[in-house]
Amino acid sequence: MGEAPAFIADDLHTSFSNGLHLKLNEFETATVIGNKTYVIGGINDPTSTGVRIFNKSTGTKPKPFKGHSTILLNKDRILIIKTNSKSNDSIWFLEVDTQFVEDQKKKFETEVVAWSKGVIGDAERPIVISGPSGVGKGTLINMLMKEFPSMFGFSVSHTTRDPREKEENGVHYHFTNRSVMEEEIKAGKFLEFAAVHGNLYGTSVEAVEVVADAGKRCILDIDVQGARSVRASSLEAIFVFICPPSFEELEKRLRERGTETEEQIQKRLRNAKAELEQGKSSGLFDHVLVNDDLEACYERLKKSSHGAFELLNTETEVFDLPMDFSLSKINEKILINSGIDERRIVLDLSSMKGGAPGRTRGLCMYTTGN
């Protein structure tokens, strides 16, 4: 029996215990086994009994919609264009064999397909900043956010550690507890997570999406293990490692910050040794900066994030897609030919790149003709 992840067709409105919504055709039955739904029967092909297999799907799904057209792209994703919709909510992808789907398959050890929304416009590569505790990552990031508030957005991580004085939930971290976070990790909500200095820390997919959706470049402050996970993920980031000028200076900064107990400081310093070795030698990082003089390091950080200071194109025109259209593909351009007038809408996929998992940016859409 051939097994292919299936696209869920029109009129998605029956719910199954595995969270799947679909409408069965006449004479079809649906059986849920684990996270797969087997739809058997159907009246479309009288010569055989069709079997459709609906696998576990992940990502933000589109709201149920009636009309759509599909086109297969590179055999790794299906492009779905909704009819009678606004251009900013018309483009969806069902990823069947992308890197993101492969990652999810490994994680869940099951077949997975993933929805991702096509987003028109650009999103610059996120910046991952790592380095031992107390080296000055947060200080440098704050300087960047203060100088360029509309350009950079901070990825607010989840953590199971207690908030420090002046730390706000949802601003500095999403403070949570271990059992809740473990459940959310199992549910695939995290792009990366790691046990750091005795607590769990993680970057949710949503934390990155929120920043990208605001048209800003995302900054992640995460440890070396997290950086390694992000490097292996579908997020195309720039990786920067911050070193102290000496171990003694690192200890001094950590103590003078005054936010940890002596026991915690000792633990962080022990971990710093391994982190410094990995950071400097692993080839994981694109840039290694020494934070001796703060201003000088900040200037080098800005240079490392090359391209970051170009203006982001966040303004995109919104227009209506027709009720009826046909699709054709020429190279990297999808032509949406209106069935009613001479108007033709062009979707240019040539610069297609991921701003965040579950979101595809770098798409350009424009109209030609009347």
Catalytic machinery residues: 164, 257, 268
Nearer to ligand ATP, 96 or 135 (CB): 135
Q: Does 133 bind ligand ATP (CB under 6 A)?
A: yes
Q: Does 294 bind ligand ATP (CB under 6 A)?
A: yes
Nearer to ligand ATP, 26 or 256 (CB): 256
Among 107, 172, 253, 344, binds ligand ATP (CB under 6 A): 253
| Residue 257 interacts with, from ligand LQESDW3C, ligand ATP, none (CB under 5-8 Å by kind) | ligand ATP
330 — phi, psi (to 5°)?
Answer: -125, 115
Q: Does 68 bind ligand ATP (CB under 6 A)?
A: no
Look up tokens 């200076």; give the residue. 249
Q: Does 37 bind ligand LQESDW3C (CB under 6 A)?
A: no
What is the dihedral sign for C-alpha 200, 201, 203, 204? positive
Q: Does 181 bind ligand LQESDW3C (CB under 6 A)?
A: no
Q: Tell me the C-alpha distance between 368 and 349, whole Å.
A: 16
Nearer to ligand LQESDW3C, 225 or 316 (CB): 225
Q: Does 196 bind ligand LQESDW3C (CB under 6 A)?
A: yes
Nearer to ligand ATP, 138 or 322 (CB): 138
Nearer to ligand LQESDW3C, 37 or 155 (CB): 155
3-state secondary structure of 102: helix
Please count the helices (runs of H) and the strands (runs of E) in the chain: 8, 22
Torsion angle defined by CA atoms of residues 276, 279, 358 and 81, in that order, rounded to the nearest 10 degrees = 160
> In whole angstroms, how close is the CB of 192 to ligand LQESDW3C at the nearest point?
6
Whether the Cβ atoms of residue 72 and residue 85 lie closer than 8 Å to each other: no
Q: Tell me the C-alpha distance between 283 and 272, whole Å.
A: 18
* Token pair listed for 39: 């739809």
| Residue 226 interacts with, from ligand ATP, ligand LQESDW3C, none (CB under 5-8 Å by kind) | ligand LQESDW3C
Q: Choose the stretch contacting ligand ATP; rule: CB under 6 A; options: 134-142, 210-218, 278-286, 333-341.
A: 134-142
Whether the Cβ atoms of residue 271 and residue 135 lie closer than 8 Å to each other: no
Q: Does 134 bind ligand ATP (CB under 6 A)?
A: yes
Q: CA–CA distance from 56 to each of 7, 37, 188 (Å)?
A: 12, 9, 12
What is the dihedral sign for C-alpha 159, 259, 241, 250? negative
Q: Does 136 bind ligand ATP (CB under 6 A)?
A: yes
Using alpha carbons only, what angle is made at residue 54 by residues 50 and 57, rounded to the nearest 5 degrees? Answer: 165
Whether the Cβ atoms of residue 69 and residue 81 lie closer than 8 Å to each other: yes
Q: Does 276 bind ligand LQESDW3C (CB under 6 A)?
A: no
Q: Which of 277, 303, 308, 275 is nearest to 289 (CA)?
A: 303
| Residue 294 interacts with, from ligand LQESDW3C, ligand ATP, none (CB under 5-8 Å by kind) | ligand ATP
Q: Does 357 bind ligand LQESDW3C (CB under 6 A)?
A: no
Residues lying near ligand LQESDW3C in the complex (CB under 6 A) are found at 133, 137, 157, 161, 192, 194, 196-197, 201-203, 221-223, 225-226
